[in-house]
Every structure is written in C-alpha cells, then in structure tokens.
Amino acid sequence: MNLCIDQGNSRTKVALFREDGRIAKHFIYKHFASAEVEQLFQLYPIEDSIISSVVNIEPAVVNALSKHSRHFVLFDHNTPLPIQNNYGTPATLGQDRLAAAVGANAIYPKENVLIIDAGSAITYDFVSEDNSFVGGNIAPGIKMRFTILHRMTKKLPLVEAEENELLPLFGRNTRDAIAAGVIRGIIFEVKGYMRDLQEQIPHYKTIITGGNAPFILHGMRDELRFERHLVLMGLNQILLYNSKQTV
C-alpha cells in the first residue's frame, strides 16, 4: 500500500492506496505525530509514503516515514511531477493546489481541466491538455465571507449556512439575505469562471473538491464532478511517479 498524508493547519488527512489506485482506508487526525506514523506501519502493509504539509513538519514524523518506507517523498516545490508546472513562482504555490492539479490530470489525462477547491479559501486552477499547470486564482471561502460580513459591520450577525437548505433568490430576513448572498454569490462566481473559460477553451472538464464543495454542488450538481479526495489522489500519483524514477 501507499501512504499519503495531507497535513493542514487544523487537521491531517491520510489515505492508504491499493495498487489499483483505489483508497483502501481514509483517516482524519486532529493531531498527527510520529506515534501515529508508527501505528499505521504496524497495522497496514505500507511500502511507500508521501507527506505534504502547509505547516512545519515535525522531524520525528519525517524520520519515522523515511525509516519505514521503501520510497519516501517529502513533497515540496522541488519534487518531480508527472505534469509540467508553469506557475511563475513555484515556491509559493500551495502544495494542495498542485497535488489537486496532478489528481485532476490523472482523472482526465490530456484534457483541459478546471479544478475548484472549496476549502477555507476557494481556489480556481487550470491544467491544460498538454499536461501543464497553467495557473489559478484564490478567493475567500464561505466561512471567511460570513466572518468578514460580521466583523466589518456593526449589526450583521455571524451566519452559518446548511448544506442542503433551499436558499431564496432574495432573502426576506437578515439571516437568509446573508446566507443566500454568500452562497449564491459563490455559485455565480463559479459559473462565471466556467463561462469565461468556455469562451476561450470550448472543451474542458470541471472537478470540484474541498469540504465546502456540497454548498456549491447543491446549486449546480450536474455541471461539476465531485472528488472528495482529489488532493490525496494527486499525492498518490506524485508518489508513484517518483517511485518509478528510483527503480
């Protein structure tokens, strides 16, 4: 099995991939340290591993992964990739964005793909049919927009929307006005990106991932492909690519 680790600011997502590329096990940790690494290697037949992190990785975690793995990849901007990275400042590109791009390219090889990651921020990235990461944009996420409206005004409350609620076109109370304004605004934003991209590139696929993807899918389910574990899928592809290079 391949062990893929996506370490974020508040939680760490982990997946074990079979040889056929399917996820065998998936875990989410609030705290991920070397003890968790040791436990995973004791419980499962792991051979290769990769870790991507937006925070400083504990040296003990790296040591444990390196010690137990046949091939270990500490993913950063210098890691060889199965796609071309044409970002102007590769050292500043979020590893999760790049991994998601690799995952999308594996799903739709040699096709144009728009990747939307709806997390704390919403990112819009594009991979071209020649397997190149072209670039992308970053926008505030759902919770961020609710929080900004609340903090930067004197009377607007802090609102939380529910995934499957039917939002009105126009709210008839302040809570619904904020919820509909934020969620519908993001859906219109997504549709705008897709419309403008289609004017330049008529044929492309769209994949959405991230914890807040259901809010967007509720408004345009038939237009997007949802891949919950896209970043982890991309990390697995990067691990496979680098393992082959060392054989």
Which DSSP string do the residues of 116-185 spell out, in sequence order?
Answer: EEESSEEEEEEE-TTSEEEEEEEEE-HHHHHHHHHHTSSSPPP----TT----SS-SSHHHHHHHHHHHH
Give Cα separations from 85 to 103, 126, 136, 167 (angstroms). 14, 11, 12, 39
Q: Which of 8-17, 110-119, 155-164, 218-227 has the lowest mean pLDDT?
A: 218-227
Domain boundaries, the chain: 109-247
Quote the pTM value. Answer: 0.93
Taken as a whole, the chain contains a residue count of 247
Q: In sequence order, which residues have a C-beta less than 8 Å from that of residue 187 and are 6 or more positions away?
A: 216, 219, 220
One-letter amino acid identity for 65?
L
Q: Which architecture, in CATH terms, is 109-247?
A: 2-Layer Sandwich (3.30)
> What is the H or E stretch that residue 219 is in?
helix 213-220
Distance CA 50, CA 37 (A): 12
What's the rounded mean pLDDT across residues 39-47? 96
Confidence of residue 35 (pLDDT cuts 50, 70, 90): very high
Q: Which range has the top average pLDDT, 55-59, 117-121, 203-207, 210-214?
A: 203-207
Q: In sequence order, which residues have a C-beta less than 8 Å from that of residue 157 and are 6 or more positions away?
A: 150, 174, 175, 178
Instruction: Give catalytic residues, as residue numbers.
Output: 96
